[in-house]
Amino acid sequence: MARQTRCVMMRGGTSKAVFLKEADLPADPAARDALILGIFGSPDKRQIDGLGGADPLTSKLAVIGPPRAEIPEAAGTHLTYTFGQVEIDEPAIDYLSLCGNISSAVGAFAVREGMVEPRSPVTTVLAWNTNLRRVLRIEVPVENGQPVEEGDFAVPGVPGTGARILVDFADTAGGATGALLPTGQVVDRLEVEGVGSIEASLVDIGNPHVFIRAADIGLTGTEMPAEIDGRADLLDRLERIRGAAAHRLGLASSPVAARAETPAVPILGMVAAPAAYRDFLHGTEVPAGEMDVLARLMFMQRTHKTYAGTSTVCTGVASRIPGTLVHEAARPVPFEQIECRIGHPAGVIVTEVMVAGGNGPEFRVQRATLGRTARRIMEGYVFTPERGELAQAAE
């Protein structure tokens, strides 16, 4: 017998996720995760027997539940949102991180599902995110009571255009570690086994991040994903650096354990001064003048093909904090300019950031936005074996 579970598949920005309702899942965490792994077809590098897309950007999960009236910080929110990064070839789900791209789709999902009263032209959805225990403010274009999907807003890495959804992550500063600058320093020195000493900026908004200079690992910052992913020695060094940062942030029991204990965060960013390159999707030139900082990301031990949503706001915020490696690499901009333009493998992504204060813990994020598009791809029922190895493992 096969079990059927209602699901919706949505694209949010440059990612795609399976949306599930909390009420449709088992209450027991082990049974819930076993069911989810079966839905995705994990563990299997092709995820051939499930809905997973065999890529970290398409092996994502959004569990949507009712608002949590018992949580004071969640007062006034419309729903509860849990993000999961479903491992592809391991039987595991990482609930420690947050996906900015999928967060945009959460707003559209909430309007379509009637979880918030629709108001034209924009409906504001307040989502309580359980991963960071913070509130996300999502502004969704609405017409005739339904989320608008068509528009003229382009997202590099996504075909065509759509309606712009705005997500403000300002409230997520320090959500994972307790502080925007978790160590209180704008630059830390990490001692990395097999690599040596390397400077890094540790910043926490949206997700914890570790930023390093691309030049410090022999890169220019203009490399394409295949150039990085094709070098096993480089991938090993980058994961060692990420592991050292995870341990410094208290996210992993040791640098070596980071891969198993927290594979998704911290996200590793490599930054450099603006420089021209050709995007890997279409081969068109991305001029240096169109960006304020150049960056490449490592996500789930692979090079991100575009740029993560939470990394966009974190990079933008870091660029406004004097002394960080991102600020060092970024083009100087007027104080009144709130846009930060980030060059990534598929083009340029823009965030609006406002950071107040001027000294360590006194820095306060007032605005950290991400503009995305989202689309409902399908809804229906996904069928999973009622029994089987995954189900038995949950018992």
DSSP string, 253-292: SSTTTHHHH-SS-SEEEEEE----EE-TTT--EE-GGG-S
What's 17's domain CATH number? 3.10.310.10
Asked, for residue 181, whether it belongs to a domain, the answer is: no
Q: How far apart are CA 107 and CA 319, in angstroms?
A: 28
Asked, for residue 263, whether it belongs to a domain, the answer is: yes
**Do 97 and 203 fall into the same domain?**
no
**Do 115 and 223 fall into the same domain?**
no
**Do 228 and 279 fall into the same domain?**
yes
Asked, for residue 252, whether it belongs to a domain, the answer is: yes
**Of 183, 151, 145, which is closest to residue 164 (Cα–Cα)?**
151
Asked, for residue 171, whether it belongs to a domain, the answer is: no
**Do 209 and 282 fall into the same domain?**
yes
**Do 318 and 259 fall into the same domain?**
yes
Q: What is the pLDDT of residue 391?
A: 43
The domain of 91 spans 2-164+375-393
Two structure tokens written together for 252: 């992993």
Asked, for residue 235, whether it belongs to a domain, the answer is: yes
**Do 67 and 199 fall into the same domain?**
no
Q: What is the pLDDT of residue 335?
A: 76
pTM: 0.86
Q: What is the pLDDT of residue 285?
A: 95
**Do 364 and 382 fall into the same domain?**
no
B/e letters for 257-286, b = 16+ CB within 10 Å, e = fewer, are ebbebbbbbbbbbbbbbbeebebbbeeeeb
**Do 154 and 256 fall into the same domain?**
no
Q: What is the pLDDT of residue 151?
A: 97
- C-alpha distances (whole Å) from 68 to each of 47, 64, 222, 323 are 33, 12, 44, 39
**Do 90 and 203 fall into the same domain?**
no
**Do 331 and 249 fall into the same domain?**
yes
pLDDT single digits (tens) 64-110: 999 998 999 999 999 999 999 999 999 999 998 999 999 999 999 99
- Give the count of domains, the chain: 2
Q: What is the pLDDT of residue 121?
A: 97
Q: What is the pLDDT of residue 107?
A: 98
Q: What is the pLDDT of residue 395?
A: 42
Asked, for residue 178, whether it belongs to a domain, the answer is: no
> Which segments of the chain have a pLDDT < 50?
388-395
**Do 51 and 158 fall into the same domain?**
yes
**Do 353 and 250 fall into the same domain?**
yes
